[in-house]
Amino acid sequence: MDREAAGRRFRERLEHVAQATESMLDRLLSTNTLPGESARPPRLVEAMRYVALGGGKRLRPFLVIETARLFGCEDEGALRTGAALEMIHCYSLVHDDLPAMDDDDLRRGRPTAHRAFDEATAILAGDALLTYAFDVIADPLTHPDPAVRSELVLKLARASGLGGMVGGQVLDLAAEQKSEQHTEAAVRQLQAMKTGALLLYAVNAGAILGGADEKQSVALSRYGAALGAAFQIADDILDEEGDEAALGKRAGKDAGRNKATLVAALGLDAARKRRDMLAQQAIAALKDGGFGARGAVLAEAAHFTVERQS
């Protein structure tokens, strides 16, 4: 496949997965499916739906699903896992946006959860989404083999907990308090945890669901780690360059806050070079994994990360 055709195919798949994820989240968060029956507080469900539905590229579910598809695995389990992962991602945004943390009023152009509802509801909707993600993954509907479900749960907890996403958020908040410039090593560590861990998990989860062998798993982990790092640098570059309308949030605000970004640590040019190199590393890892033409969509995801404008 040439780049143009591969790019087209990638955009089709990204769009398809975004729609499928939206439907799955809608279904998982509907009153027919949610646990608790009549006891579910409607306002809590409303807040969970507000937070999880109607937005985003759904890159994490995309990576779960496309990685599983490398192995011919196209069942609903990958979509459920992707939706659960998206719940974790969405809960983290809700908690990060709280007044005690980033104190943001807008997210994707809409009022943040604590503005649309209230702070208590936002905190609890976050807690409920985090908890429900494990419910969805541990459910036999996700995979008939409990060993697969257990591994998916364990790795999700590792990726999203104190050694992963939550730990990264703590480091990020601490970094803002510092007056000196952040070292490249510190920024890389922080970003590998705060955003990298969930993107890597997405790829690892697809490998687990697809039954990857050792060599394939290692190659896919390298792909996921490089892609995750490239994605975050690209985000920081966009934030530096971007305008408010395109991003739906105040652009340039990261610089004002002494945010730990590679743009700040290395400068814009060096950050762009590093982003591009990481994307190439991701593509090379797919080649090493021996996925051949089947890897084209994931390779395009790496190009997309570099080239995207929002």
The residues that touch a second copy, with contacts defined as CB under 8 A, are 34-37, 39-41, 43-45, 48, 95, 98, 100-101, 118-121, 123-124, 126-128, 130-132, 134-135, 138-140, 145-147, 149-151, 153-154, 156-158, 160-164, 166-167, 169-171, 173-174, 189, 192-193
**What is the nearest approach in angstroms of a second copy to the Cβ of residue 159?**
9
**What is the nearest approach in angstroms of a second copy to the Cβ of residue 211?**
15
For a second copy, which is the closer residue by CB, 45 or 251?
45
For a second copy, which is the closer residue by CB, 5 or 101?
101
Write out the chain in H/E/C secondary structure.
CCHHHHHHHHHHHHHHHHHHHHHHHHHHCCCCCCCCHHHCCHHHHHHHHHHHCCCCCCHHHHHHHHHHHCCCCCCHHHHHHHHHHHHHHHHHHHHHCCCCCCCCCEECCEECHHHHCCHHHHHHHHHHHHHHHHHHHHCCCCCCCHHHHHHHHHHHHHHHCCCCHHHHHHHHHHHHHCCCCCCHHHHHHHHHHHHHHHHHHHHHHHHHHHCCCHHHHHHHHHHHHHHHHHHHHHHHHHHHHCCHHHHCCCCCHHHHCCCCCHHHHHCHHHHHHHHHHHHHHHHHHHHHCCCHHHHHHHHHHHHHHHHCCC
For a second copy, which is the closer residue by CB, 224 or 295?
224
**What is the nearest approach in angstroms of a second copy to the Cβ of residue 9?**
35
**What is the nearest approach in angstroms of a second copy to the Cβ of residue 251?**
24
For a second copy, which is the closer residue by CB, 193 or 271?
193
For a second copy, which is the closer residue by CB, 98 or 116?
98
**What is the nearest approach in angstroms of a second copy to the Cβ of residue 40?**
5
For a second copy, which is the closer residue by CB, 23 or 131?
131
**What is the nearest approach in angstroms of a second copy to the Cβ of residue 310?**
28
